[in-house]
Amino acid sequence: MPELPEVETTRRGIAPYLIGRRVLGVTLRRPDLRWPIPPQITTLLPGQRIEAVERRAKYLLLHTEAGSALLHLGMSGVLRVLPPDAPVGKHDHVDIALERTIAQAPRILRFTDPRRFGCLLWQAPGETHELLASLGPEPLTDDFDGDLLWRRSRGRKAAVKLFLMDNAIVVGVGNIYASEALFAAGIDPRRAAGTVSRARYARLAAEVKRILAWAIERGGTTLRDFISPDGAPGYFFRELNVYGRSGEPCHVCGTPIRQVTLGQRSTFWCPRCQK
């Protein structure tokens, strides 16, 4: 599943082709993805100029005066900017046609989603969609820091890794990056969230910011399905310290990496470096 760096890579890849361009029309090749596609996508979006392309957690929003198209890539979705005559594949479910500009030829934004776990929804002007209403702060902003983690974790018995992955606490820290940040901070992912000190949370927040920022610059972590809008894979997977390395020696101390399931997600850690 694409995580925050992959979604941010997508946003950065498509935004230069979308911002300031008018939507000529929308082609739907099926009426639904994970949920039904609302009628506003075909009745309100055409004719509108895209004013901004925003990421909120793992969602992308195409903002216009009439409202915003809200997209999620799901498990295997991809957004690509293509020529209007690009051949249509079996899983190419949505095309958003964009006007010609002085600098750019006509283009389409194509949403491909083989597993159909993604979504294309609508957010009215001045409103916050229900999927976004309860989300925590963005991890790369000043709203997220160690003090927030420490305050929100008091009294919690859940494993710190599950706490860190809770989108109501902070958005976008998925399985891979939670494992890597906890390793970098020296915290055992199984430790109860309420037992981690303020100082250790300060280091954890700093590592979350560092690792996510670095992963974005590296184009994300391509393990299976994700490719960026230009077809390039992510390269952060080459620099993973613990994720997916069960039984392999720790890069720091040589101790074999261990694996356990927490919250139905595979979790990796070094029993010597993480306490």
- Whether 25 has a pLDDT exceeding 90, the answer reads yes
Residue with tokens 């954890």: 204
107 given a catalytic annotation: no
Rounded CA separation 60/56 (Å) = 6
Query: Residue 166's CB: how many other CB atoms inside 10 A?
Result: 16
Confidence band, pLDDT 50/70/90 cuts, at residue 217: confident
3 given a catalytic annotation: yes
Query: Which residue out of 55, 58, 80, 110 is catalytically annotated?
Result: 58
User: Are 19 and 52 spatial neighbours (Cβ–Cβ below 8 Å)?
Assistant: yes
Q: What is the pLDDT of residue 230?
A: 52
Q: Are strands 52-56 and 92-98 parallel, antiparallel or unpaired?
A: unpaired
Pick out the residues of the known binding site for DNA: 91, 115, 156
99 given a catalytic annotation: no
What's the whole-number average pLDDT of the chain?
A: 93
58 given a catalytic annotation: yes
Whole-structure pTM over 0.85, yes or no?
yes
Pick out the residues of the known binding site: 91, 115, 156
Residue type, 154: R
Average pLDDT, integer, range 166-188: 96
**Residue 229 has which token pair?**
């809008």
Question: In this predicted structure, which of 57-66, 168-177, 199-208, 234-243 has the lowest mean pLDDT?
Answer: 234-243
Query: Which residue out of 2, 5, 189, 229 is catalytically annotated?
Result: 2
User: Are 98 and 108 spatial neighbours (Cβ–Cβ below 8 Å)?
Assistant: yes
